[in-house]
A and B are shown apart, each in its own frame.
Chain A
Amino acid sequence: MREGEILLIAPFSREAAALLEEQGLTLEDLAFDPLLENARRFARERLIRAIEGRILYPDMINPVNEVYAFVAAKLIASRVGRSMLSRLANYEAKRFMELSERLSTEKLIDLARGTFGFEFRFNNGLWVDVVSYSNGCAGIGGPKWRLVNRVVRKGYVLVNERDLRRLISEYVKMKVMETPRIELPDPLEEIAKEISDMFAKRMRKRFKRPKKGDFPPCIRELISKLRRGENLTHQARFALTAFLLNVGWSEEQVLDLFRSAPDFNERIASYQISHIAKRKYKPPSCETMKNWGLCPGDCGRRYMLEGFD
């Protein structure tokens, strides 16, 4: 069982890729092989869980199935579209974050090194190379994650084990997002249709475009990211919500916009939005937006609401 552990927890790992290679799995096998019925079933289940945002615990008996299910799920999600793929990416990242608690530090390091090319140093703590750290932390919000607030020495960044798991889970996200979009054989295509319908139903309250006016580029960027189903950091969500509420959008309209967020949860989102509305928060200053990495470039405005007040 220990053998298969890494496959279960990290079906995206180099070990999993080696297994696929060794077994010579083809797209046709994945679609038609009667022995892989379970894998297809798990893939479907995985996608449903991704839409619902609940973690599915892996099949402990057959780790190979877990890898097949992962591969099928991402191909199907990619077929459905960018938003679905992004949702699956987020799901896989969260799933890894939860399950990887069971991995020993050594296994974790092996995984990061072998699968994602991290480099490590081990004098007085755990140090990750600055490039792997920076490329990974960029998707994580909050001051604690900024490189500038870290102990950095000779090309390495001091982290703890939890940090490392979080960083890996960002790489999981990126890896899933790289899945190509290809035509699928019928049995998989059918699952794709079903998932696509289910996903569309979830997002049915499609966002009716209220007038965008002349939004600053930072806000336009955030909106289009959301539309593409990309994940936004907590800070980005705050900035966007505060801005939209201040230019007259209703809470309901803002909520609808967030429906395409890969981790959308109606209860949490509407609580956050109405909290911002109640407190009448103003959007952050341009300076703060720059510090949060949310300013795409100088647009000439002195503050976000310039022209709206």
Chain B
Amino acid sequence: MRELEKLFARYYRGMASTIYVSDVPLREFMFRDFEGKVRRHMSFRDLSELRKYLVDNPPMHAYYSVSLYRNPTAPMVEKEPIRAELLFDIDSTDFKDEECERESIWRCKNCGLSGKGIPPDKCPKCGSGRMEVNHWLNERCISLTKEEVGKLIGVLSEDLGASLDEIAVSYTGNRGFHVRVSEGKLTTLSKEGRREVAFYAMGRGFDPTPLFIVEKGLVKLDLRSSIARRALEHLLSAQVKLTPSLREKVLLLSKGMGVRLGSRERKYLLNLLKESAQRSGARIDWMVTMDTGRLTRIPNSIHGKTGFRALRLSLDEYGVFNPFKDAVGLPSEPEIKVRVKMPVPAFRLRDEAFGPYSPGEEVQLPGFAAAFVILRGRAEPLNH
């Protein structure tokens, strides 16, 4: 790993000034080094001390706490949290998308069977659920997660009242994005309150029963609820098949008009709406949002599974952002010779094309490309 460490060190020497974390003295920091050793409960007096640490001890992974604490270095129960960023994690690994997983390789830990694509829940040969997956990442992972970022920003600003300058987007450095609200009242949400907000953004647990208004035997849906509106819209979209009579009723409901619904039909529609609310909601990992004790990647630090920068992006930038160009942060020198362990598909970094490579092949690559295949676990460095 010495070669990689040198690349990371060069990055932090040149780019430490781009590392920015607010309220440094009130946060806990955690680092994982290249031997896998973890240092937790650390704190810094100010930003420059943090930057200096990164230059002197370039970490493989660098994290900070979403919470601000009175005693950031104390054990968890004595930290005394003040408030916490509201964090949303969008990761394409959770989506099980075929195109996004095309180059992912899974292996059954029980019988050793392996294959490509979306990993099955259970081994098709021996039935074991113990699967290990080596994910790859491609443009599709990024475009999918960008869509979710857009939905989430809409909900945060339109419904939850976050002002746009309180919302920060950053690329995770791997297969998705982080969206955070770092200032304002939303940072005072309790853990349980965060679950309410996360479920809201996801449309999860939507049950329109309290939003039905019955007048003279006609049922209306309260369209002041943006989730109800979104769910109706989704039902009317091309992706959902409805009988003509039901479609007509959904159309009337979406215009704020009352319809007559039999009890069976009502139940059926209720279920359709529940499903549509979730399908049209943002796909986030709600457990991350709820966890105020969480440590999360420092924006602009290097992700130790890709060598990419966890770039902080403005609301105008994230749409056009391309990690394979914009987030490549490691230098090209020194070049590193690697031996391929698992199939590496063709990929482009900084507009340069690489691969495909097959197992056993030995190739000389620019530092950032070597780091990428090594950190993905598909190749190993050859000592020269």
Interchain nearest-CB distance for A299 vs B (Å) = 12
* Nearest CB in chain A to that of B203: its residue: A148
Q: Please, how many angstroms separate the alpha-carbon atoms of A146 and B188 in the complex?
A: 18
The binding surface of chain A is classed by DSSP as mixed
Q: Mark A111-139, 1 if CB is under 8 A from B, else 0.
A: 00000000100000000011101110111
In whole angstroms, how far apart are the Cα atoms of A292 and B286 in the complex?
A: 13
Interface check A293, CB cutoff 8 A: yes
B199–A148 CB distance below 8 A? yes
- In the assembled complex, the Cα of A293 lies from the Cα of B227 at a distance in Å of 19
Known A-B contacts A135-B189, A158-B224; A149 and B206 likewise in contact (beta carbons under 8 Å): yes
Asked if B204 lies at the interface with its beta carbon under 8 angstroms from chain A, I say yes
- From 202 to 235 in chain B, residues with beta carbon under 8 angstroms from any chain A beta carbon are 202-211, 222, 224-227
Given contacts A129-B185, A134-B189, A138-B192, contact A148 B226 (CB under 8 A): no
The answer, yes or no, to whether B319 is at the interface (CB within 8 Å) is no
Q: Which residue of B lies closest to A155 (CB)?
A: B161
- The residue on A at minimum CB distance from B121 is A302
In the assembled complex, the Cα of A151 lies from the Cα of B206 at a distance in Å of 12
Among the listed B162, B210, B226, which residue makes an inter-chain contact with A149, where contact means beta carbons less than 8 Å apart? Answer: B210
Report A-chain residues with C-beta under 8 Å of the C-beta of B162: 155
Among candidates B196, B204, B224, residue contacting A137 with C-beta atoms closer than 8 Å: B196
Q: Bound state CA distance, A133 and B207, in angstroms?
A: 18
Q: Shortest CB–CB separation between residue B61 and chain A, in angstroms? A: 22
Answer yes or no: A201 CB below 8 A from chain B CBs: no
**Does A210 belong to the interface (CB within 8 Å)?**
no
B211 to chain A, nearest CB (A): 6
Question: Which residue from B195, B227, B277 sits with its C-beta under 8 Å from A138?
Answer: B195
Whether A131 and B185, one on each chain, are in contact in the complex, defined by CB atoms closer than 8 angstroms, is yes
A144 at the interface (CB under 8 A from B): yes
Asked if A187 lies at the interface with its beta carbon under 8 angstroms from chain B, I say no
Given contacts A143-B210, A291-B205, contact A151 B189 (CB under 8 A): no
For the complex, what is the distance from the CA of A295 to the CA of B145, rounded to whole Å? 25
- Nearest-Cβ distance from residue B275 to partner chain A, whole angstroms: 12
State which size class the interface on B falls in.
35 or more
Q: Are B210 and A144 in contact (CB under 8 A)?
A: yes
With a cutoff of 8 Å between Cβ atoms, the chain A residues found around residue B194 in the complex are 134
Residue B190, interface by CB 8 Å: yes
**Cβ of B197 and Cβ of A149 under 8 Å apart?**
no
Residues in B whose Cβ lies below 8 Å from that of A102: none
Q: Contacts A148-B203, A148-B204, A154-B161; is A134 near B193 (CB within 8 Å)?
A: yes
Instruction: Give the residues from 272 to 309 in chain A that come closer than 8 angstroms, CB to CB, to chain B.
Output: 290-293, 297-298
Q: Is A156 located at the chain interface by the 8 A CB criterion?
A: yes
A130-B160, A130-B161 known; A152 vs B196 contact (CB < 8 Å): no
Taking the complex as formed, is A147 at the interface, i.e. its CB lies under 8 A from any CB of chain B? yes
Q: How far, in Å, is B110 (CB) from chain A's closest CB?
A: 15
Residue of A119, A129, A149 with most chain B CB atoms under a 10 A cut-off: A149
Query: How many angstroms from the CA of A291 to the CA of B281 in the assembled complex?
Result: 15
Task: Please give the distance in Å from B195's CB to the nearest CB on chain A.
Answer: 5
The minimal Cβ–Cβ distance linking A295 to chain B, given in whole angstroms, is 9
Chain B residues with Cβ below 8 Å from A144 are 209-210
A198 CB to nearest chain B CB (Å)? 32
Q: Which residues of B contact A133 (CB under 8 A)?
A: 196
The residue in A129, A152, A153 that gathers the most chain B C-beta atoms within 10 A of its C-beta is A152
Bound CA–CA A152/B154 (angstroms): 13
Whole-angstrom distance from the CB of B8 to the nearest CB of chain A?
A: 32
Q: Are A134 and B207 in contact (CB under 8 A)?
A: no
Q: Which residue of A lies closest to B208 (CB)?
A: A149
Query: What's the least CB distance linking B132 to chain A, in Å?
Result: 15
Instruction: Answer whether residue A202 sits at the interface, using C-beta atoms and an 8 A cutoff.
Output: no
Q: Is A150 an interface residue (CB 8 A)?
A: yes
Contact A151 B161 (CB under 8 A): no
Cα-based distance from A250 to B189 in the complex (angstroms): 40
* B186 interfacial contact with A, CB 8 Å: yes
Contact of B188 with A143 in the complex, beta carbons under 8 Å: no
Are B192 and A149 within 8 A (Cβ)? no
In the complex, chain B residues whose CB is within 8 Å of the CB of A152? 159-160, 200, 225-226
Contact A297 B287 (CB under 8 A): yes
A139: chain B residues at CB < 8 Å are 192
How many angstroms from the CA of A119 to the CA of B184 in the assembled complex? 13
Q: Which residues of B contact A137 (CB under 8 A)?
A: 196
Cβ contacts under 8 Å, A149 to chain B? 205-211, 225
Which of A153, A290, A297 touches B159 (beta carbons < 8 Å)? A153
Closest chain A CB from B150 CB (angstroms): 19
CB-nearest residue of chain B to A130: B160
A196 to B162, CA, bound (A): 47
Contacts of B208 on A, CB cut-off 8 Å? 149
Report the minimal beta-carbon distance from B164 to chain A, rounded to whole angstroms.
13
13 residue pairs bridging A and B, Cβ less than 8 Å apart: A130-B186, A131-B185, A134-B194, A138-B196, A143-B210, A144-B210, A146-B205, A147-B200, A149-B208, A149-B209, A152-B226, A155-B162, A293-B192
Q: Return the 7 tightest CB-CB contacts between A and B, nearest first.
A: A155-B161, A138-B192, A134-B193, A147-B196, A135-B193, A134-B196, A143-B207
**Chain B interface (Cβ < 8 Å from any Cβ of A):** 158-162, 185-186, 188-190, 192-197, 199-200, 202-211, 222, 224-227, 277, 287
